[in-house]
Amino acid sequence: MVKKVLVIIPPLTQLNAPYAAGPFLAGFLREHRVDAKLVDASLELALRVFSRRTLEQMVSQLAGSSARTMKKAAVGNLVKNADRYAQTIEPVVMFLQGRSPELAAKIAARRYLPEGPRFQVLGELQRAHGARDPLMGVFTPEEKERRARYLASLYVDDLVDAINGGIDGKFFLSRYAEKLAVSAPSFGPLRRALETEDTLVDQLIDELAGVMYEEHRPDLVALTVPFPGNVYGALRISRAIKKLSNGRTRIALGGGYPSTELREISAPEIFDYVDYIVLDHGLNTLLWLSQHDDPDGTRGLCRTFVRKNRKVIFVEGRPCGRKKLLHVTPSCAGLQPSRYISMAEVPNPMHSMWSEGWWNKLVLAHGCYWHKCSFCDTALDYIGQFSPASATKIVDSIEEVREATGEDNFHFVDEAAPPGLLAAVSEMLISRGVKIRWWTNIRFERGYTHELARLMARSGCVAVTGGMEGVTDRLLKLVNKGITLADAVKAMEAFSRAGIMVHAYLMYGIPGQTVQDTVDALEIVRRLFVRGYLKSAYWHRFALTAHSPMYRNPGKFGIRVHRSKFRGFARNEIAFDEPRGCDHEMLGAGLRAAIYNFVHGSGLDFDAQAWFSGDVPKPNIGALDFS
């Protein structure tokens, strides 16, 4: 019987709340009477980085840097204002944690913080809004705390840029060493970095791993790795714990990244760092490992890679029981909401939902009820296998989690929340008198009527996000989105009139997308911002993935898939050619510039053609049905 399990969220993720998988795994194990502890190593690393001690170490290190490094604006700014940063860094972190609200007036007055290159955006805002105070058109006089949070976030971003430019090029605010893990065909570059790099941030991760090990002395470590930007941090931690425990601590790696990118792994070297690589939700495997001390056994494993006789083998095992996930109430025991860092890098309140404030995270349904979009990873379990929880179980969990954390804000982290289930949950929240604020991801479809939007708003819904991808009807049909533009517009209108903010995920570079399609999409999005139906949006570049219908049928979309460079490690994003494609690079630059301005409330009166550096046609969409 394994006595102690340590669930770790590795660096780096968003800093305002723990990534959802960690509390779910901890809650599941605790419900089965396993002694499970949860540590958010992402937060712990950030608190070490953004401290006076580390800042002084950074400045000392930068003093010996090359002239080329010192010419970088953020690096030069930090060195020049080193004393001011040393005096302000810890008070600013406390303010962003909500522990020093009295600092808001001081920060908002713009005489307290050193202002580096990131503050240049204030000049852009001043020109856009025509006010002497650049933030006058963004925040009301009463929004002093929000104004201060925005300025403090720019201050942190300046520090991040200085670290990236002069201390460790792997470091970003919510990801670390991401490039080493993005569709990495070979494990070699990651292994070399793990064994040779020793930056100040690397040292902090090693130090943190030692603290976690000494405090908990775990028999089993579960590293939940959602993104490429967590992989290096996870393996750095596992490397340190392996050494400290002389190999006695067993280590399991799971989460979104291995479940997406490591499904064909054959590189035995990674098992020098971990003992198990678990695919999909991994609950059965984790429970078995926590209850059986059998390092060489595989009987209880499910969808798990292990190394045997220097070769990687895959254990399919018994059914993994995805419905178990729907009956788990996440547990944040051991985590303190008051230690999390709430950022607002953009003044747009919808755009800041991901980084500002603590959000308790729950799942309404496993998978996507549509799961037919041609660009999506529909072959993967977490998308293609749909199972909803009951409204009763969801609201029971809401009440339990709220009681445990003392926080009323909830984020339902679904692939696409079903409208019928949202209606049932909303009605039950109202009938029980449960008062919360919540948001979730949806599909912009006709089921979201004015009545449903008002019901959701009454139950506490403040925002929704959803995919519009190519935007135009032709492209929505091409990617088999299952909605029309009219459906999306009517859903957005219903939400906006109910006081619910809306964010849209957009996509460019879709195979078959023309210049005209792209210009039309931008004009449609502009009109949605003008009408107030959209509060925020983001344009992603299309990526062909190995688990999508588009990859399985490239000829249908006019693309040629490149020969695989797979060398036994990660495989997800697939290189391809589009012989009849247009200049998506030029178009993407214009789209990003436009959406950046729209999110900041400017540029909404510009002609769509003005955003592009090359010649593009006028929009050809006619009137939109806003009725």
**Element at 164 (helix H, strand E):** helix 144-166
Residue owning tokens 């003005």: 610
- pLDDT of 264 reads 96
Answer whether 47's CB lies under 8 Å from 339's CB: yes
- pLDDT of 124 reads 84
Residue owning tokens 């690079």: 585
Inter-CA distances, 580 with 512, 513, 540, 560, 613, Å: 8, 10, 21, 11, 21
Q: Do 443 and 576 fall within a single domain?
A: yes
Answer whether 114's CB lies under 8 Å from 87's CB: no
**Final residue belonging to a domain, choices 324, 344, 375:** 324
* Buried/exposed code over 278-310 (b: 16+ C-beta within 10 A; e: otherwise): bbbbbbbbbbbbbbeeeeeeeebbbbbbbbeee
CA–CA dist 46, 156 (Å, integer): 11
Q: CB neighbours of 592 closer than 8 A, spacing ≥ 6? A: 539
Token pair belonging to 256: 């979104």
CA–CA dist 240, 246 (Å, integer): 10
Going along 279-351, which residue ranges are E strands? 302-308, 311-317
Q: Do 316 and 365 fall within a single domain?
A: no
Token pair belonging to 300: 């209880």
Cα-flanking dihedrals φ and ψ of residue 438, to 5°? -150, 160
- Residue 627 in any domain: the answer is no
- Residue 151 in any domain: the answer is no
- Residue 391 in any domain: the answer is yes
- Residue 165 in any domain: the answer is no
One-letter identity of residue 195: E
CATH number of the structural domain spanning residue 190? 3.40.50
- Residue 393 in any domain: the answer is yes
- CB burial class (10 A; 0-12, 13-18, 19+) of residue 4? middle
3-state helix, strand, coil in the chain (%, to 5): 45, 15, 40
SS (H, E, C) 223-245: EECCCHHHHHHHHHHHHHHHHHC
CATH number of the structural domain spanning residue 368? 3.20.20
Q: Do 548 and 420 fall within a single domain?
A: yes
Q: Do 454 and 377 fall within a single domain?
A: yes
The end-to-end CA distance of the chain, in Å, is 64
3-class SS of residue 179: helix
- Provide block-wise average pLDDT over 10 residues at a time, the chain (627 residues): 89 97 96 96 99 98 92 96 98 98 96 97 81 79 93 98 97 96 94 96 98 97 98 98 96 97 97 97 90 78 94 86 75 97 95 96 95 96 92 97 97 96 99 98 96 99 97 96 96 98 97 96 97 97 96 93 91 92 92 96 94 94 67
CA–CA dist 69, 259 (Å, integer): 38
Q: Do 277 and 209 fall within a single domain?
A: yes
Domain count, the chain: 2
Q: Is the preceding peptide bond at 12 cis, omega within 30 degrees of 0?
A: yes
The Cα angle at residue 563 between residues 560 and 565, in degrees rounded to 5 = 140
- pLDDT of 127 reads 80
**Element at 512 (helix H, strand E):** none
Q: Do 432 and 319 fall within a single domain?
A: no
Question: Domain limits at 231?
Answer: 5-45+178-324
CA–CA dist 64, 70 (Å, integer): 9
Cα-flanking dihedrals φ and ψ of residue 469, to 5°? 45, -115
- Residue 114 in any domain: the answer is no
- pLDDT of 625 reads 63
CA–CA dist 1, 227 (Å, integer): 31
Q: CB neighbours of 245 closer than 8 A, spacing ≥ 6? A: 213
3-class SS of residue 536: strand
- pLDDT of 1 reads 61
- pLDDT of 626 reads 55
**Final residue belonging to a domain, choices 268, 301, 324:** 324
Answer whether 434's CB lies under 8 Å from 399's CB: yes
Q: CB neighbours of 195 closer than 8 A, spacing ≥ 6? A: none
Q: Do 434 and 320 fall within a single domain?
A: no
Q: Do 267 and 363 fall within a single domain?
A: no
Going along 98-176, which residue ranges are E strands? none
CA–CA dist 123, 141 (Å, integer): 19
- Residue 370 in any domain: the answer is yes
Q: Do 364 and 263 fall within a single domain?
A: no
Answer whether 421's CB lies under 8 Å from 445's CB: no
Q: Do 477 and 603 fall within a single domain?
A: yes
| Of the candidates 413, 464, 475, the residue with the CA atom closest to the CA atom of residue 439 | 464
Helix 21-31 to helix 283-291 angle (10° resolution) is: 50
- Residue 618 in any domain: the answer is no
Residue 149: how many other CB atoms lie within 10 Å = 25
Residue owning tokens 């929340």: 417
222 bridge partner residues: 7, 252
Helix 450-458 to helix 485-497 angle (10° resolution) is: 40
Q: Do 472 and 592 fall within a single domain?
A: yes
Q: Do 422 and 484 fall within a single domain?
A: yes
**Final residue belonging to a domain, choices 306, 324, 342:** 324
